[in-house]
C-alpha cells in the first residue's frame, strides 16, 4: 500500500466512513507499517534508526502498559509535526521532498471550533456587555473605579482613588460560555483566569476588611498580597482564604468534588454552616484540597497538571474516560453521549487547546476510544 493510499484509508476509518473490509485492512497494515514509500530527508536523522524508535515507542505505549496515551510525547512531537504512525500521523514540511504536497486535513463538517476569548460581563443593574470582539478601551467608570477592556482577552478594574471608602460596592459578574475563556484584573490588582463554562461574582471595589468573591466552574487565581484583608473565594459549599498566592479551583457543578490546587504560598480551605466553621485544612504548594460528600481532605499532586488549561493544553494523567470527555466537551462546546458499558481504562497525554476538532476525534480513535460525532454531539461506546 502506498503512503497516499494509507492516508486516504486512515481518513475514512477515523471518521467512521469505511467498510468492515477497509477497517480490517487498516488494522492489518498499521501493525506492520514501514516508511519505505515515504520521501525522506536527512533532516530527521537516519531513517532506519528513527523507524525502529517509532516502532519501539508504539509497542511500549499500546501493548506494554494498561494506561493509554492520548498523544505520544517524544523528541518528534515538538518538531512542528503532527505525529501519526498507528498512534500519530508523521507530518512536517521538511519530511517531504519538493514534489510532494503536504497532506491537507479534512474540513470540519460540523463547524466545531476550539474555544476562544468569549465572555459576558453582567452589571449590578442587570445590563450585559458581550466582551468578545469588543474594541480596546474604557467601558465605564463607577465609584472611583474605571473598567477597561484590554484587547480581546481581559478586562481590568482600576481604582482612580487610593483610599478605601468603606462604602458598599455593587457586584459584577463575569461569565464564560462553554468554549470560552477570559481574564480579569480586580480592583485590588488580583488576576483571575476563567476557564470555559465558569462564572465569577465580585465587587466593583473591595472596601471592607475582606476581599470576597464567588466562583462556579474553574478559575486560576493570582491574588495580590494584602496582609490586612484576606481574599476569600466561596465555591460550592467551601471557602478558600488567602492573603496573597497562586492557586486553582475546579468547582464545576457537574463534578463529583471541588478541587483546590496550590502553586505558591499557603491556603486555608474550610467549610462552614450558617454560624461557624465546621472543618478546615491548610494546603501547601503541590497539595490539593478535595471537598466531596460534605467532607474535606487533601492529597499531594503535580500542581502544573491542574493549571495546564491556562497554558493552552488539555492535559490528562491517569484520567478516566469521563474526565477526558468532560474537558473536551467544555472546551469544544459539544455534548457527550455514552452508549453501552464503558471500560475502566485510564489515559495519559495532552491535546493542544487550539487543535482542530477533527484532529481531536482522530487522536481519540487512534487510542482505541470508540467515538463518533453527530452534529454537536460526541457518542462514546465500548
Write the pLDDT tens digit of every residue in 115-148: 999 999 999 999 999 998 777 889 999 888 999 9
Best CA proximity match to 263, nearest among 226, 318, 306 = 306
Domains contained in the chain, CATH given: 3-95 (no CATH), 116-305 (2.60.120.1440)
Residue 56 phi/psi, 5-degree rounding, is -65, -45
- Could you tell me the three cell numbers for 119? 465572555
Percent of the chain with pLDDT over 70: 71
Mind listing the pLDDT tens digit for each residue in 209-225? Answer: 899 999 999 999 999 99
* pLDDT score for 104: 34
Report whether 160 contacts 145 (CB < 8 A). yes
* pLDDT score for 366: 76
Report whether 42 contacts 48 (CB < 8 A). no
Separation between Cα atoms, residue 298 and residue 290, nearest integer Å = 6
Separation between Cα atoms, residue 323 and residue 109, nearest integer Å = 25
* pLDDT score for 341: 83
* pLDDT score for 97: 33
Separation between Cα atoms, residue 13 and residue 16, nearest integer Å = 5
- Could you tell me the three cell numbers for 323? 474526565
Separation between Cα atoms, residue 138 and residue 150, nearest integer Å = 9
HEC profile of the chain: CCHHHHHHHHHHHHCCCCCHHHHHHHHHHHCCCCCCCCCCCHHHCCHHHHHHHHHHHHHHHHHHCCCEECCCCCHHHHCCCECECCCCECECHHHCCCCCCCCCCCCCCCCCCCCEECCEEECCCCCEEECCCCCCEEEEEECCEEEEEECCCEEEEEECCCCCCCCCCCEEEEECCCCEEEEEECCCCCEEEECCCCEEEEECCCCCCCEEEEEEEEEEEECCCCCCCCEEEEECCEEEEECCCEEEEEECCCCCCEEEEEEECCEEEEEECCCCEEEEEEECCCEEEEEECCEEEEEECCHHHHCHHHHCEEEEEEECHHHHHHHHHHHHCCEEEEECCCCCCCEEEEEECCCCHHHHHHHHHHCCCEEEEECCEEEEEC
Tell me the CA distances in angstroms from 44 to 98, 110, 249, one per residue in order: 16, 36, 42
* pLDDT score for 10: 66
* pLDDT score for 30: 55
Mean pLDDT by groups of 10 residues along the chain of 382 residues: 60 68 67 46 50 50 42 33 32 31 38 91 94 84 89 87 70 96 96 98 93 97 94 94 94 94 94 78 96 93 94 90 94 93 84 90 82 88 77
Amino acid at each position: 500500500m502506498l503512503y497516499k493510499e494509507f492516508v486516504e484509508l486512515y481518513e475514512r476509518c477515523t471518521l467512521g466512513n469505511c467498510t468492515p473490509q477497509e477497517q480490517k485492512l487498516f488494522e492489518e497494515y498499521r501493525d506492520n507499517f514501514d516508511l519505505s514509500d515515504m520521501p525522506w530527508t536527512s533532516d530527521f536523522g537516519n531513517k532506519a534508526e528513527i523507524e525502529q524508535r517509532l516502532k519501539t515507542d508504539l509497542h511500549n505505549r499500546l501493548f506494554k502498559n494498561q494506561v493509554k496515551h492520548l498523544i505520544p510525547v517524544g523528541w518528534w512531537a515538538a518538531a512542528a509535526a503532527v505525529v501519526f504512525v498507528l498512534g500519530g500521523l508523521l507530518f512536517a514540511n521538511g519530511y517531504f521532498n519538493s514534489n510532494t504536497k503536504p497532506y491537507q486535513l479534512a474540513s470540519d463538517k460540523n463547524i466545531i471550533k476550539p474555544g476562544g476569548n468569549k465572555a459576558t460581563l453582567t452589571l449590578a443593574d442587570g445590563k450585559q456587555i458581550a466582551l468578545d470582539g469588543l474594541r480596546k478601551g474604557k467601558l465605564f467608570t463607577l465609584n472611583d473605579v474605571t473598567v477597561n477592556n484590554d484587547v480581546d482577552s481581559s478586562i481590568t478594574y482600576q481604582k482612580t482613588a487610593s483610599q478605601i471608602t468603606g462604602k458598599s460596592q455593587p457586584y459584577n459578574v463575569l461569565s464564560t460560555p462553554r468554549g470560552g475563556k477570559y481574564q480579569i484584573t480586580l480592583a485590588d490588582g488580583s488576576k483571575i483566569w476563567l476557564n470555559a463554562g465558569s462564572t465569577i461574582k465580585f465587587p466593583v471595589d473591595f472596601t471592607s476588611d475582606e476581599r470576597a468573591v464567588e466562583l462556579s466552574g474553574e478559575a486560576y487565581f493570582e491574588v495580590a498580597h494584602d496582609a490586612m484583608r484576606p481574599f476569600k473565594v466561596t465555591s460550592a459549599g467551601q471557602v478558600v482564604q488567602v492573603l496573597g498566592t497562586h492557586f486553582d479551583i475546579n468547582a464545576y457543578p457537574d463534578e463529583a468534588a471541588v478541587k483546590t490546587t496550590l502553586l505558591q504560598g499557603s491556603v486555608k480551605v474550610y467549610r462552614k454552616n450558617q454560624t461557624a466553621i465546621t472543618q478546615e485544612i491548610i494546603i501547601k504548594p503541590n497539595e490539593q484540597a478535595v471537598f466531596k460528600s460534605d467532607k474535606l481532605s487533601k492529597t499531594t499532586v503535580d500542581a502544573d497538571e491542574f493549571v495546564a488549561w491556562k497554558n493552552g493544553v488539555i492535559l490528562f494523567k491517569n484520567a478516566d474516560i469521563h474526565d477526558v470527555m468532560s474537558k473536551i466537551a467544555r472546551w469544544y462546546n459539544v455534548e457527550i453521549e455514552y452508549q453501552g458499558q464503558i471500560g475502566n481504562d485510564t489515559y495519559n497525554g495532552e491535546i493542544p487547546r487550539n487543535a482542530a476538532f477533527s484532529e481531536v476525534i482522530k487522536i481519540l480513535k487512534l487510542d482505541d476510544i470508540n467515538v463518533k460525532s453527530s452534529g454537536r454531539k460526541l457518542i462514546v461506546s465500548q
